[in-house]
A and B are shown apart, each in its own frame.
Chain A
Amino acid sequence: MSLLSLQGVSKRFGAATALDALDLEVGEGEFLALLGGSGSGKSTLLRAVAGFERPDSGHVLLRGTDITALPPQKRDVAMMFQSYALFPHMTVFENIAYGLRRKGEAPGPRVAELVEMLGLAGLERRRPHQLSGGQAQRVALARALARRPTLVLLDEPLAALDANLRERTGFELRAIQRRTGSAFVMVTHDQAEALSLADRVAVLHAGRIAQVAPPRELYERPATREVARFLGAANLLDGPGGGFALRPERIRIAPGGRPARVEEVAFRGADVLVLARLEDGMALRILLPVAARAPVPGEAVEMQWEADDLVPLAT
Chain B
Amino acid sequence: MGGGRPRAARHLIRALAWIWLALLVALPLAVVATMGFGTAQPGIPPVRLPWGAEGWQGSLESWALLLEDDYYLGAALRSLRLAGITALCCLVLGFAMALGIARMPARRQPLWLGLVLAPFLCGFVLRMAAWVGTLRDAGWVNRMLGHLGLEPLRLLYTDAALLVGMVHSYLPFAVLPLWAALARRDTALEEAAADLGASPFTVFRSVTLPLAAPAALASFLLVFIPAMGEVVIPELLGAPDAVLLGRAIWAEFFQTRDWPLAAVLATALLALLALPLAVQQRLSVRR
Give A residues with C-beta under 8 Å from B.
50-52, 71-73, 77-79, 81, 83, 85, 87-89, 98-99, 102-103, 143, 146-147
A102 touches B191 (CB 8 A): no
Given contacts A102-B196, A102-B197, 18 further A-B contacts (CB under 8 A): A50-B191, A50-B195, A51-B195, A52-B191, A52-B195, A71-B194, A72-B194, A72-B195, A78-B195, A79-B191, A79-B192, A81-B192, A85-B188, A87-B189, A88-B189, A99-B196, A99-B197, A147-B197
Within 8 Å of chain A (Cβ to Cβ): is B222? no
Q: Closest residue of chain B to A50, judged by CB?
A: B195
B210 touches A73 (CB 8 A): no
Q: Which of B188, B189, B196, B210 contacts A78 (CB 8 A)?
A: B196
Q: Which of B191, B196, B210, B211 contacts A147 (CB 8 A)?
A: B196
A102 touches B198 (CB 8 A): yes
- Closest CB of chain A to B201's CB: distance in Å? 11
Q: How far is the CA of A106 from the CA of B153 in the complex (A)?
A: 55
Chain A residues with Cβ under 8 A from B211's Cβ? 88-89
Q: Which of A51, A79, A81, A89 contacts B210 (CB 8 A)?
A: A89
- Closest CB of chain B to A136's CB: distance in Å? 13
In this complex, which of B188, B195, B206, B210 has the most chain A Cβ atoms within 10 angstroms of its Cβ? B195
Interface string of B174-192 (1 = CB under 8 A from A): 0000000000001011011
In the A-B complex, the 10 residue pairs with the closest CB atoms:
A99-B196, A102-B197, A85-B188, A85-B192, A72-B194, A72-B195, A79-B195, A73-B197, A89-B210, A81-B188
Q: A87-B207, A88-B211, A89-B211 are in contact. Are A98 and B188 (CB under 8 A)?
A: no
A73 touches B195 (CB 8 A): yes
A81 touches B198 (CB 8 A): no
Q: Closest residue of chain A to B196, judged by CB?
A: A99
Within 8 Å of chain A (Cβ to Cβ): is B41? no
Q: Closest residue of chain A to B207, judged by CB?
A: A87
Chain A residues with Cβ under 8 A from B59's Cβ? none
Chain B residues with Cβ under 8 A from A85's Cβ? 186, 188-189, 191-192
Chain A residues with Cβ under 8 A from B198's Cβ? 73, 98, 102
Q: A87-B189, A87-B207, A88-B211 are in contact. Are A102 and B202 (CB under 8 A)?
A: yes
Chain B residues with Cβ under 8 A from A83's Cβ? 186, 188
Q: Closest residue of chain A to B191, judged by CB?
A: A52
Chain B residues with Cβ under 8 A from A73's Cβ? 194-199
Chain A residues with Cβ under 8 A from B206's Cβ? 87, 98
Chain B residues with Cβ under 8 A from A88's Cβ? 189, 211
A143 touches B191 (CB 8 A): no
Interface string of B83-104 (1 = CB under 8 A from A): 0000000000000000000000
- Closest CB of chain B to A128's CB: distance in Å? 10
In this complex, which of B192, B199, B202 has the most chain A Cβ atoms within 10 angstroms of its Cβ? B192
Q: How far is the CA of A147 from the CA of B191 in the complex (A)?
A: 16
Chain A residues with Cβ under 8 A from B193's Cβ? 87, 98
- Closest CB of chain B to A37's CB: distance in Å? 22
- Closest CB of chain A to B133's CB: distance in Å? 47
Can you list 20 residue pairs at the A/B interface with Cβ under 8 Å?
Answer: A71-B194, A73-B194, A77-B195, A78-B196, A81-B192, A83-B188, A85-B188, A87-B189, A87-B193, A88-B189, A88-B211, A89-B211, A98-B193, A98-B196, A99-B197, A102-B196, A102-B202, A103-B197, A143-B192, A147-B196
Chain B positions 211-262 with a Cβ under 8 Å from a chain A Cβ: 211
A81 touches B191 (CB 8 A): yes
Chain B positions 6-20 with a Cβ under 8 Å from a chain A Cβ: none
Q: Closest residue of chain A to B190, judged by CB?
A: A85
Q: How far is the CA of A83 from the CA of B189 in the complex (A)?
A: 10
Chain A residues with Cβ under 8 A from B194's Cβ? 51, 71-73
B188 touches A143 (CB 8 A): no
B186 touches A143 (CB 8 A): no
- Closest CB of chain B to A313's CB: distance in Å? 38
- Closest CB of chain B to A137's CB: distance in Å? 14
- Closest CB of chain A to B194's CB: distance in Å? 4
Q: How far is the CA of A144 from the CA of B186 in the complex (A)?
A: 18
Q: How far is the CA of A232 from the CA of B222 in the complex (A)?
A: 58
- Closest CB of chain A to B186's CB: distance in Å? 7
Q: How far is the CA of A282 from the CA of B190 in the complex (A)?
A: 52
Q: How far is the CA of A18 from the CA of B65 in the complex (A)?
A: 74
- Closest CB of chain A to B142's CB: distance in Å? 47
Chain B residues with Cβ under 8 A from A77's Cβ? 195
Q: How far is the CA of A102 from the CA of B207 in the complex (A)?
A: 13
Chain B residues with Cβ under 8 A from A89's Cβ? 210-211
Q: How far is the CA of A79 from the CA of B197 in the complex (A)?
A: 11
Q: How far is the CA of A312 from the CA of B283 in the complex (A)?
A: 66
Chain A residues with Cβ under 8 A from B189's Cβ? 85, 87-88
Chain A residues with Cβ under 8 A from B202's Cβ? 102
Q: How far is the CA of A99 from the CA of B196 in the complex (A)?
A: 5
Chain B residues with Cβ under 8 A from A81's Cβ? 188, 191-192
Q: How far is the CA of A147 from the CA of B202 in the complex (A)?
A: 17
Chain B residues with Cβ under 8 A from A87's Cβ? 189, 192-193, 206-207
Q: How far is the CA of A143 from the CA of B191 in the complex (A)?
A: 13
Q: How far is the CA of A143 from the CA of B198 in the complex (A)?
A: 13
Q: Closest residue of chain A to B213, judged by CB?
A: A89
Q: Closest residue of chain B to A140, judged by CB?
A: B192
Q: How far is the CA of A192 from the CA of B93 in the complex (A)?
A: 52
Chain A residues with Cβ under 8 A from B188's Cβ? 81, 83, 85
Chain B residues with Cβ under 8 A from A79's Cβ? 191-192, 195
